Homo-oligomer: A and B are copies of this chain.
Amino acid sequence: MQRIVVLAGGIGGARFLRGLKKAVPDAEITVVGNTGDDIHLFGLKVCPDLDTVMYTLGGGIHEEQGWGRADETFAVKEELAAYGVGPDWFGLGDRDIATHIVRTQMIDAGYPLSAVTEALCTRWNPGVRLLPMTDDRVETHVVIDAEDGGRKAVHFQEYWVRLRAVPPARAVVPVGAEQAKPAPGVLDAIASADVVLFPPSNPVVSVGTILAVPGIREAIADAGVPVVGLSPIVGGAPVRGMADKVLAAVGVEATAAAVAGHYGSGLLDGWLVDTVDADAVPEVEAAGIRCRAVPLMMTDTDATARMAHEALSLAEEVRV
């Protein structure tokens, strides 16, 4: 049985995983999920990326939106607004809140996030092993210009959701990452993997945050197995989201080739770019990363499964 480790952010990662499961239904897939986006709202611990993966693979996702629950209602949010209690910019639905209530109760009772995630997954049966990157608290902050001419840091969700990534991101800081330890099972899964995949997730605030947890990048580099990524940038722009905004903060151009170079040949063995970026292939290969141009639009699960097949084929090609 093929063992695959996937580092996943939210929507892009979750949709890729659905295609991967369809492509290789018998594979044993371990997902290392980003928790840098986690936020405490109204006393509840919210893990947007873990939940997006769980809901998407478990059949509970709001399909069009890509995050949150299907058939969602917003009575609690309306009432909190009526009390004048904020923030009001985070779309916390009623069904979603139940997940956060269960999670917060378990965390308060002393369970680590990894155990909580496992418990939540017993309901959703995502068909993958979903692990948070760490049980420790890591919070991605984005540094932007302050009104007084200086700089200030805001929580990633505030930057992404409230500010819609409009202010230029001067830096992205995964606060707490340096002190964090990989969650139980993460390093073992990587060490025993046959292949490691980077889905077309945000290379800075999703995959990058996971790689910022000491030990994870090293474990991937040392695993001696193919590491293949899929470009989240197609034709010089993110397929979805606002990855270009945070790429700028780390000095990386929003091109398929530049993102491959950002990961680097020390980490990445293979890289898929979209067919519209076929001219990037020689540049990526010159940097020591095997590269193929294939359709990378996750228009439906079949198209995504074909992308997953291409990634796994490239992994076999680069296997030494």
**CA–CA, A120 to B85, complex, Å?**
11
Residue in chain B with minimal CB distance to A107: B43
A41 to chain B, nearest CB (A): 10
By the criterion of a CB under 8 Å from any partner CB, how many residues of chain A are at the interface? 28
Contact of A75 among B94, B105, B120 (CB under 8 A): B94
Decide: A102 and B83 in contact? CB cutoff 8 A.
yes
Interface residue from B44, B72, B76 paired with A98 (Cβ < 8 Å):
B76
A102-B75 contact in complex given A94-B94, A108-B43, C-beta closer than 8 Å: no
Residues of B within 8 A of A99 (CB): 79, 83
Docked Cα-Cα span, A117 to B182, in Å, equals: 43
A82 at interface (Cβ–Cβ under 8 A)? Answer: yes
Q: Is A73 in the interface zone, CB < 8 Å from B?
A: yes
Task: Determine the chain B residues whose CB is within 8 A of the CB of A104 once the complex forms.
Answer: 43
Contact with A105, one of B43, B94, B120 (Cβ below 8 angstroms): B43
Q: How far is the CB of A130 from chain B (nearest CB, A)?
A: 15
Binding site for B on A (CB under 8 A): 42-44, 72-73, 75-80, 82-85, 93-95, 97-99, 101-102, 104-105, 108, 120, 123
Distance in angstroms between the alpha carbons of A51 and B75 in the assembled complex: 17
The residue of chain B having its C-beta at the shortest distance from the C-beta of A75 within the complex is: B94
* A76 surroundings in chain B (CB, below 8 A): 76, 94-95, 97-98, 101
* B73 x A94 contact (CB < 8 A): yes
Choose among B78, B79, B105, B123 the residue that contacts A82 (Cβ–Cβ < 8 A).
B123
Contact A105 B42 (CB under 8 A): yes
A-B contact sample (4 more), CB < 8 A, given A43-B105, A79-B94: A43-B43, A80-B101, A83-B102, A83-B123
**What residue of chain B has the Cβ atom nearest to residue A119's Cβ?**
B83
Query: What distance in Å separates the Cβ of A81 from its nearest Cβ neighbour in chain B?
Result: 9
